[in-house]
């Protein structure tokens, strides 16, 4: 069919979609400057993952990673660069972080001559569905802390109780999918540090800051949830 007709047919169908500016469920209500749209369209024909062919795009990504690392108080020394990567979205970021934790845990267990075939991860029942996907895709047991009436985020005390030698990490959420509420990452760090000391384990924390990572540093700068906490080893954040 003529290109004009194809455009009109698809546009008409898309009219049946919801309005993203009114989508309170997925935290995608943020307005974006038209200059950002222009930059995205100017780069839409680049194969972003081909870093050899598009080194300037890669350099821009690395600058962003370092800016975000400083924003999240990463312990970066003079002359050092932060370790991180841009992803398609928080779901991919969580897959990469989860795999890194799983591989590191497996290597540690192998070196100690212990079984390494039954890893688990501890989260709250309020986690975004991509955590369930990670557990299913990469064969990791998902241990969820159940919610209770009037308390709709992960209870750090119960989370740490669920941790065992096979736990690859505890995932905390900064901006719950259900309510937008921040989980108490500082208390989780304190309780998990105590348990690690008692057991000799080194169970780390990942913070899923998809919804709150670009809010907390500006609105609540004194809130300790990021790399200021020693057990927080990785963070994902999204431009929602």
Is residue 161 in a domain? yes
- Please tell me the predicted confidence (pLDDT) of residue 26: 66
Could you tell me which residue, 13 or 25, shows the higher pLDDT?
13
**Structural tokens at position 61:** 């990504």
Residues whose CB is less than 8 angstroms from the CB of residue 157 and which lie 6 or more positions away in sequence, other chains included: 191
Tokens of 100: 């890194």
Report DSSP state, residue 180: -
Distance CA 71, CA 217 (A): 7
Domain of 134, CATH number, reads 3.40.640.10
52 lies in a domain? yes
Residues 107, 220 share a domain: yes
- Please check whether residues 38 and 111 belong to one and the same domain: no
Residues 106-151: tens digit of each pLDDT: 999 999 999 999 999 999 999 989 999 999 999 999 999 999 999 9
The predicted model gives 156-173 an average pLDDT of 98
pLDDT tens digits for 167-221?
Answer: 999 999 999 988 889 999 999 999 999 999 999 999 999 999 998 999 999 999 9
Average pLDDT of the residues of the chain: 94
pTM of the model: 0.91
Q: What's the structural domain count of the chain?
A: 2
Q: Which domain holds residue 151?
A: 87-236
> Looking at 61, 77, 98, which one is the last position of a domain?
61
Do residues 42 and 155 both lie within one domain? Answer: no
Residues facing residue 206 across a β-bridge = 171, 234
Tell me: do 7 and 112 sit in the same domain. no
HSE-CB of 125 using CA atoms within 13 angstroms: 7
Alpha-carbon span 18 to 81, nearest angstrom: 41
Residues 97 and 201 reside in one and the same domain: yes
76 falls within a domain: no
């Amino acid at each position: 069919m003529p290109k004009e007709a194809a455009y009109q047919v698809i546009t008409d169908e898309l009219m049946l979609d919801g309005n993203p500016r009114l989508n309170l469920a997925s935290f995608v209500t943020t307005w974006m400057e038209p200059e950002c749209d222009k930059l995205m369209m100017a780069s839409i024909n680049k194969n972003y993952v081909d870093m050899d062919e598009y080194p300037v795009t890669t350099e821009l990504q690395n600058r962003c990673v370092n800016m975000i690392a400083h924003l999240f108080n990463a312990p970066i020394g003079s002359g050092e660069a932060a370790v991180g990567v841009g992803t398609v979205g928080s779901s991919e970021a969580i897959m990469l972080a989860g795999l890194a934790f799983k591989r590191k845990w497996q290597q540690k267990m192998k070196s100690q001559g212990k079984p390494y075939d039954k890893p688990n991860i501890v989260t709250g029942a309020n986690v975004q569905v991509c955590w369930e996907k990670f557990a299913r895709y990469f064969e990791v047991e998902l241990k969820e802390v159940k919610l209770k009436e009037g308390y709709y985020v992960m209870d750090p005390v119960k989370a740490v109780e669920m941790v065992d030698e096979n736990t690859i990490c505890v995932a905390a959420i900064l901006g719950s999918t259900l309510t937008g509420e921040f989980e108490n990452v500082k208390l989780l760090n304190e309780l998990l540090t105590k348990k690690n000391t008692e057991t000799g384990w080194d169970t780390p924390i990942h913070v899923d800051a998809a919804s709150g990572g670009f809010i907390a540093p500006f609105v609540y700068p004194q809130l300790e949830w990021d790399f200021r906490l020693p057990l927080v080893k990785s963070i994902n954040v999204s431009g929602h």
